[in-house]
Amino acid sequence: MPENLDAIFKPRSIAVVGTSRKDGTIGREILYNLVAYGFNGPVYPVNPKAAYVNSIKCYPSISAIPDKVDLAIIVIPKEQVLSVVEECGEKGVKGIVVISAGFKEIGEKGIQLEKELVRMIKKYGIRLVGPNCMGVINTAKDIRMDATFGSTLPLDGQVGFMSQSGALGNIILEYADELKIGFSKFVSMGNKADVSGNDLLMDFEDDENTKIILMYLESFGNPRKFTKIARRLTKKKPIIAVKAGRTLAGARAASSHTGALAGLDVAVDALFEQCGVLRATSIEELFDYAVAFSNQPLPKGKKVAIVTNAGGPGIIATDACVSLGLKMSTFDKETYKKLEEILPEEASTQNPVDILGDGGPKRYEKALDVVLKDINVDSVITIFVPPLMSKALDVAVAISKVSANYDKPVLGCFMGREEVLTSIQELEKNNIPAYLFPESAAKSIAGMYKYRELSKRSEGNIVHFEVEKKKVKSIIDNALSAGKGYLSQDEVRGILEAYGFKYPETQLVKNEEEAVNSANRIGFPVVLKIASLDIIHKSDAGGVVIDLEDEGDLRAAFKKVISNVKSNAPEAKIDGVMVQKMVKGGRETILGMSLDASFGPLIMFGLGGIYVEVLKDVSFRIAPITDLDASDMVKSVKSYPLLKGVRGEKPVDIEEIEKYIQRLSRLVEDFPEIEEMDINPFVVFEKGRCCNVVDARIKIERSYKQNKF
């Protein structure tokens, strides 16, 4: 199979199989678009029942075409698709786009048909887009191919777009046309039987015309491959994605904290974050980003200035910027002075700069120029609310004129519909993104800034640790053959210690006397905990008593633990009681892993203890975790400042935490049988004292196979 997609994107001739004389049919629309957009080569309609379509000579079959055909667009009932594909193969066609539906998306019968389709193209070395899609576009000057049935012809530009939904594809083409966004390539992927999102990413990576990549995704075929490609690609070109649909992680009942917290969409968020992909929450936001990215330079920093003719929208924009992590610029003294000179007394020279409702084009022009000149300004949002006396169009002209002189992003926000329409068009003509509301402008700047930061960060390394893999393998194999799901405390400890984790001293005892002996040996204060495979959350069953100072405390606690468990969990089989050294000081965190159906192991870090599910202060990344991922994970929990120490507290050893996150990642990568695990609490200390696993559980599963991904 050819690796590249030239057969799809650079055909020298195209056949449309199943075109028709009837107006409004898909086959006819495609033929029309190919011709109307000016495809740089011959187009052959194929239909046994017509001699001509759209004044072009029509052929009864692919094999009846006397010349060579590079690409075939197939728009015929699904039953006939296979035989036509075979005919294409015999004729030497190397690229096929199957528009026809009725394959995988309809269930069992369609799945079979799709499998046969894939077998057929493999046999002939054909690359295929679809089935069940709306076609492909390549606007490159030497190709000019619009092989879609879209109702608008595309503008050419820098955006490479892939959409998993055909229906949305057409709306996207229309919307882009309205916003004057031009495409380099546009692909409706359909069922992705052959050409996948990853294939397209690789194509867009090498495509000089593609500067920005937009994706509408419903599922990931191969998330691991996506990670690899996207991590590399986002260093060069921004990828902005809308991911619809939900991952399965949330649908599974989870008994671990990590599983419960790994809600609906965290895997996708984690994946995008790790790869530097910007996530848009809606198609609208996707295009808000697209207009900004395709028309303006990236901001070099996070300092924003706002120039407005109305106070309210200026405040809204300020709030939006700040809440998105941007900063409002504090201007140079010189800037304030100049603003005072050019603005009326009642105007505000502070950021947001309010030039007042009677501010016309001249005032905009001067104020914007002064502000853009200031080195404390990385980007500007200009807001215009049409009052009676000002002319919106002239203001738009003024903004466009000034912003062309600076290499800083300037975004417009013209509030209103009808009355500002021509001015919005004027801005768009001059490559100034125009938004209806200040929040959208703020979001776009924040997105551009975030992308700039993401693209600059290093890729990170998978660090190698000394571990005892064999030891863990034998524990897991034994447990599997005993039919265990949850592992015993001893097994969990054996596994974690083999991967470098440290426990406070712990001993399993069978009766009160043994507990006393053990505590004397370990040294008070100690903790007692019930040991039972049937009890997952020990404190819930009254099975944990902490901070026992002496033998008297201990004896009382022992009786209490046993009687609590007997009444709270009468069915549980008690294996004994654990005596554990009481860990003093430090901070309780949680380390965990849960398995996502399509992304594999998700690693979690956060604030631990018994309130973890209430506080939900956790972060996720997909394994394997690089040193950089681990550092990002720790930094992105809200309580990070607590770890760094507040009010004179010593900071905890953050590097140590990062190392253990990576060790955990290594463990779950090495043992795909591990289905879920929690280390909670994982107690962390200041530098010089080792982190402690105070409590951990691991669930394993035999049927889980790594090749699931």
Ligand X SMILES: Nc1ncnc2c1ncn2[C@@H]1O[C@H](COP(=O)(O)OP(=O)(O)O)[C@@H](O)[C@H]1O
Report the interface residues with Mg ion, using CB under 5 A.
680, 695
CB 290 within 8 A of CB 215: no
Closest CB to ligand X among residues 143, 536 = 536
Does 538 interact with ligand X (rule: CB under 6 A)?
A: yes
* Rounded CA separation 523/534 (Å): 29
Does 171 interact with ligand X (rule: CB under 6 A)?
A: no
* Rounded CA separation 682/67 (Å): 70
Identify what 111 binds: ligand X, Mg ion, none; CB under 5 to 8 Å per kind: none
Query: What 3-state class would DSSP assign to 623?
Result: coil
- The residues near 566 (Cβ < 8 Å, ≥ 6 apart) are none
Closest CB to Mg ion among residues 39, 605 = 605
Q: How far is the CB of 578 from Mg ion (least distance, A)?
A: 12
Q: Please, is 650 exposed, middle or buried when counting C-beta atoms within 10 Å of its C-beta (0-12, 13-18, 19+)? A: exposed
Type and span of the H or E element at 66: none
Closest CB to ligand X among residues 237, 529 = 529
Closest CB to ligand X among residues 451, 503 = 503
Identify what 538 binds: ligand X, Mg ion, none; CB under 5 to 8 Å per kind: ligand X
- Asked if residue 624 has a cis previous peptide bond (ω within 30° of 0), the answer is yes
Of 630, 619, 610, 632, the closest CA to residue 681 belongs to 610
Residue selected from 539, 568, 598, 636 as contacting ligand X according to rule CB under 6 A: 539
Q: How far is the CB of 537 from ligand X (least distance, A)?
A: 5
Query: What 3-state class would DSSP assign to 543?
Result: coil
Cα four-point dihedral sign 97, 99, 105, 109: negative
Does 681 interact with ligand X (rule: CB under 6 A)?
A: yes
- The residues near 142 (Cβ < 8 Å, ≥ 6 apart) are 40
Q: Checking DSSP bridges between strand 696-700 and strand 434-435, what pairing results, if any?
A: unpaired
Q: How far is the CB of 529 from ligand X (least distance, A)?
A: 5
Q: What is the amino acid identity at position 151?
A: S
Q: How far is the CB of 572 from ligand X (least distance, A)?
A: 13
As a three-state string, the secondary structure of 303-367 is EEEEEECCHHHHHHHHHHHHHCCCEECCCCHHHHHHHHHHCCCCCECCCCEECCCCCCHHHHHHH
Identify what 580 binds: Mg ion, ligand X, none; CB under 5 to 8 Å per kind: ligand X
- The residues near 611 (Cβ < 8 Å, ≥ 6 apart) are none
Does 316 interact with ligand X (rule: CB under 6 A)?
A: no
Query: What 3-state class would DSSP assign to 460?
Result: coil
Identify what 386 binds: ligand X, Mg ion, none; CB under 5 to 8 Å per kind: none
Query: What 3-state class would DSSP assign to 603?
Result: strand
Does 610 interact with ligand X (rule: CB under 6 A)?
A: yes
Binding residues among 29-68 for ligand X as defined by CB under 6 A? none
CB 382 within 8 A of CB 368: yes
Residue selected from 177, 609, 615, 640 as contacting ligand X according to rule CB under 6 A: 609
Quick note: the x/- pattern for ligand X over 568-607, rule CB under 6 A, is ------------x-xx----x-------------------
Closest CB to ligand X among residues 288, 588 = 588
Identify what 529 binds: ligand X, Mg ion, none; CB under 5 to 8 Å per kind: ligand X
Stretch that binds ligand X, among 129-137, 170-178, 416-424, 531-539 (CB under 6 A): 531-539
> Phi/psi class of residue 180: alpha, beta or left (left: φ > 0; alpha: ψ in -120 to 50)?
left
Closest CB to Mg ion among residues 349, 680 = 680
Q: How far is the CB of 545 from ligand X (least distance, A)?
A: 9
> Phi, psi (5° rounding) for residue 547?
55, 50
The residues pairing with 678 across neighbouring beta strands, listed in sequence order, are 592, 697
CB 626 within 8 A of CB 459: yes
Binding residues among 502-521 for ligand X as defined by CB under 6 A? 504
Residue selected from 168, 527, 625, 661 as contacting ligand X according to rule CB under 6 A: 527
Residue selected from 111, 462, 546, 572 as contacting ligand X according to rule CB under 6 A: 546
Stretch that binds ligand X, among 385-393, 534-542, 556-564, 666-674 (CB under 6 A): 534-542
Identify what 471 binds: ligand X, Mg ion, none; CB under 5 to 8 Å per kind: none
Does 88 interact with ligand X (rule: CB under 6 A)?
A: no
Q: Tell me which residue has tokens 């001293």.
A: 505
Please give the structure tokens belonging to residue 647: 């009010």
Residue selected from 21, 231, 452, 537 as contacting ligand X according to rule CB under 6 A: 537
Q: Which residues bind ligand X (CB under 6 A)?
A: 504, 527, 529, 537-539, 544, 546, 580, 582-583, 588, 609-610, 680-681, 694-695
